[in-house]
């Protein structure tokens, strides 16, 4: 029995959590699937699945087998694609893990275009701000905000964020525009409350060799970036956040930059993937796509 095929079937059963759903593909049946799983369990000498009449559950050994099988099957696919040449049509399933702000503002509006470009490629998008382990976790591509420590991964920087003050044009028309960070004490400012510390995040400024850090004055402070942005767009005060969150509001004119010469560098945005995925057509086209997506912001 083809062991790679047995591993592929086992992974499908785990993902679908069902023998019958896995058997819906052509030339497959519950009996065939049972035989493949049983063959794997005999070969490894462990139980991979616990199965009752109502449900199945993955054992600890089964979970370990599933993670390693995913990497093995992925490596085999990339080997085939690499040997067949880079003109291979991207196809199969691409698993992408992405932070909420990037998914909402940048990736979600572009998915229809990407899907049209690569109709044989299916995307499984995991959106969230919990840091998934990129080495042990399941996935093909990760988009990350901040410096990366894991040298075993390939990381391509696609955007450099900045800390920059913004306000609604109407607010500035009524009260004027500050020319230096020191003048902010004369304006309505709205600090961002750090969700973990509960403290207001200091505002940072840099111009040439001058560097400043100030506690912005203000009666309103908010611990949710999107809410803070909407408050600023309504004219409630000046804010300082990463341009990553502010770009859409800058484009439509709801917010304008304040003290643009005093912006400070923020964390970079990178697209990350395993070294052995570099030859994969599906990974390559997605990495190129998001790189072009963020290049348009500059």
DSSP state of 298: -
Are 225 and 281 found together in one domain? no
The dihedral sign for the CA sequence 167, 172, 174, 180: positive
Whether residue 253 contacts residue 216, with contact meaning beta carbons closer than 8 Å, is answered with: no
Are 12 and 108 found together in one domain? no
Are 177 and 61 found together in one domain? no
Which of 44, 50, 59, 49 minimizes the C-alpha distance to 9?
49
Residue 27: the pLDDT is: 67
Distance CA 243, CA 267 (A): 11
Residue 131: the pLDDT is: 65
CA atoms within 13 A on the CB side of 192: 24
The answer to whether residue 228 is domain-embedded is yes
What's the domain range around 288?
92-159+267-295
The domain total for the chain is 3
Residue 138: the pLDDT is: 63
Residues contacting 219, CB < 8 A, separation 6+:
188
Are 197 and 261 found together in one domain? yes
pLDDT per residue as tens, the chain (298 positions): 688 888 988 888 888 888 877 777 666 788 888 899 999 999 999 999 988 767 788 999 998 898 888 778 877 766 666 666 555 678 888 999 999 999 999 999 999 999 999 999 999 999 987 765 554 456 789 999 998 776 667 889 999 999 999 999 999 999 999 999 999 999 999 999 988 888 999 999 999 999 999 888 888 999 999 999 999 999 999 999 999 999 999 999 999 999 999 999 999 999 998 776 556 788 889 999 999 999 988 6
Residue 31: the pLDDT is: 86
Note the pTM of the prediction, 2 decimals.
0.68
The answer to whether residue 208 is domain-embedded is yes
The answer to whether residue 100 is domain-embedded is yes
**CATH code, domain carrying 155:** 3.40.190.10
Are 136 and 272 found together in one domain? yes
Are 179 and 191 found together in one domain? yes
Residue 22: the pLDDT is: 76
Residue 87: the pLDDT is: 52
């Amino acid at each position: 029995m083809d062991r790679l095929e047995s591993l592929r079937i086992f992974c499908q059963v785990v993902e679908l959590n069902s023998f019958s759903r896995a058997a819906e593909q052509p030339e497959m049946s519950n009996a065939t699937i049972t035989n493949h799983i049983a063959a794997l369990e005999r070969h490894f000498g462990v139980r991979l699945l616990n199965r009752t009449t109502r449900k199945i559950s993955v054992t600890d050994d089964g979970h370990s087998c599933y993670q390693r099988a995913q990497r093995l099957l992925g490596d085999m696919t990339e080997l085939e694609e690499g040997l067949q040449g880079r003109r291979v049509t991207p196809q199969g399933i691409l698993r992408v893990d992405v932070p909420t702000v990037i998914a909402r503002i940048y990736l979600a509006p572009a998915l229809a275009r990407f899907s049209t470009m690569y109709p044989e490629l299916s995307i499984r998008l995991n959106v969230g701000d919990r840091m998934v382990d990129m080495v042990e976790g399941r996935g093909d591509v990760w988009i990350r905000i901040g410096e990366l420590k894991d040298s075993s991964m390939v990381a391509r920087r696609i955007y450099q964020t900045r800390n920059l003050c913004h306000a609604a044009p109407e607010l500035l028309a009524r009260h004027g525009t500050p020319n230096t960070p020191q003048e902010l004490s004369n304006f309505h400012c709205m600090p961002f409350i750090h969700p973990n510390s509960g403290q207001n995040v200091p505002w940072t400024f840099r111009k040439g060799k001058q560097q400043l850090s100030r506690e912005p004055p203000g009666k309103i402070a908010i611990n949710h970036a999107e809410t803070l942005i909407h408050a600023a767009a309504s004219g409630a005060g000046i804010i300082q956040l990463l341009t990553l969150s502010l770009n859409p509001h800058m484009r439509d004119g709801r917010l304008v930059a304040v003290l643009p010469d005093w912006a400070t560098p923020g964390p970079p945005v990178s697209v990350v993937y395993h070294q052995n995925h570099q030859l994969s057509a599906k990974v390559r086209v997605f990495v190129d796509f998001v790189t072009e997506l963020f290049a348009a912001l500059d």
